[in-house]
Amino acid sequence: MVMKMDKTEKTANRSVLKTLEFLEYFIQNSELSLAELVEMSDMPKSTVFRILQTLEMRGFVSKTTTHNPPKYQLGLKLLEFGNIVAQRLEIRKIALPYMLQLRDTVDEAVNLIIRDQDEGVYIEKVDTRQYVRVYTQVGRKSPLYAGACPRILLSFLPDHEIEELLNRVDMKKISPDTNTDKDLLWQWIHDARENGYTVSYGELEPDSAAIAVPIRDFTGQVIAGLSLAGATSRFQQDRLEYLVQETKAVANQIMSKLGYSDAKAGL
């Protein structure tokens, strides 16, 4: 069975595509022998063997112990990737009722964001009922250095990862008030770690403000950020403590559902 490549695939790396095709063969076949993969791929036996060796070395396939000659099956490395994807889907489902509750309590837009390489991507949102709204949409991406919600994800990365990211990213202004000063960014990162939240004013959109808190999974790792966003006039100091308190309370409820034990103590 030979898979035909479309125009996009023709411009891609052929060796990578061949390797990915091998993984796709296992979608409908739990176990496959070397001979079966040679027949399915219409590739030389030596090429197929090299691909299998590479996949096995990285844990993407493994040999079965019940056949002679051995057959191959998907490896546990793919389970790790599957768990990451499942976790992203699970957190949306878990968080949404609490996001609605938070919106109804404070009457501000509520966003859920996760990291996608050097950016944060909004995976869920609940709009405010206020007439003046801040623009966000599911799927929108923002650089990790700008805005409260992306920055909360950045803040809880290890220092060396933050340094590497800042060395490869061009800190451009997205709005007139976007911070591009690395020293100031580091100060905000340390503040976020100490206080458990971060605040932004006009960094992504003029006349907008946001606060964000981290969401941890059962291991304690920060896997998402929960934020409120709205007009700057509604995020002044006299109301800020209240907004932070309510957002942290809802984040703790979400984290408790995710199995983070310290959330039950309000930490």
Would 2 be classed as within a structural domain? no
Within this chain, do residues 54 and 167 fall inside the same structural domain, yes or no? no
pLDDT for 7 beyond 50: no
- The answer to whether residues 89 and 60 belong to one domain is no
pLDDT above 90 for 8: no
46 in the same domain as 129: no
Same domain assignment for residues 164 and 216: yes
Parent domain of 50: 7-75
Q: In the listed set 75, 104, 129, which residue is the last one of a domain according to the structure?
A: 75
Which of these three, 75, 91, 115, is where a domain ends?
75
pLDDT at 141: 86
Which of 43, 58, 75 corresponds to the end of one domain? 75
**Amino acid 9: pLDDT:** 47
Q: Note whether 161 and 186 are same-domain residues.
A: yes
What are the helix and strand counts (H, E) for the chain?
A: 9, 9
184 token code pair:
């100031």
Using one digit for the tens of pLDDT, what is the confidence trace for 154-211? 999 999 999 999 999 888 998 898 999 999 999 999 999 999 999 999 888 888 899 9
Question: Cα torsion at 22, 24, 30, 36 (round to 10°)?
Answer: -40
**Total structural domains within the chain:** 2
What HEC string does 113-142 produce? EEEECCEEEEEEEECCCCCCCCCCCCCCEE
Looking at residue 13, what is its pLDDT?
67
Inside any domain, residue 1: no
pLDDT at residue 219 in the model = 87
Q: Are residues 234 and 212 in the same domain?
A: yes
Assess if residue 259 is contained within a domain: yes
User: Looking at residue 65, what is its pLDDT?
Assistant: 76
Average pLDDT, the chain: 86
The reply to whether 183 and 51 lie within a common domain is no
Say yes or no: 60 and 92 in one domain: no
Which range has the worst mean pLDDT, 108-117, 120-129, 220-229? Answer: 120-129
Do 113 and 230 lie in a common domain?
yes
- As a whole-number percent, the residues of the chain with pLDDT over 70 amount to 88
Determine the pLDDT at residue 1: 41
Q: Are residues 123 and 224 in the same domain?
A: yes
Whether the pLDDT of residue 11 is over 70: the answer is: no
The CATH number of residue 36's host domain is: 1.10.10.10
Q: Is the pLDDT of residue 18 over 90?
A: no
pTM of the model: 0.67
- Count how many residues are written for the chain: 267
**Of 63, 82, 86, which Cα lies nearest the Cα of 74?**
63
Task: Answer left, alpha or beta for residue 214, where phi above 0 means left and psi between -120 and 50 means alpha.
Answer: beta
CATH value at residue 248: 3.30.450.40
What is the pLDDT at residue 70? 86
Q: Is the same domain home to 111 and 158? A: yes
pLDDT tens profile 57-69: 988 899 887 778 8
* 43 phi, psi to nearest 5 deg: -115, 160
The confidence score (pLDDT) of residue 140 equals 82
Asked if 110 and 216 sit in the same domain, the reply is yes
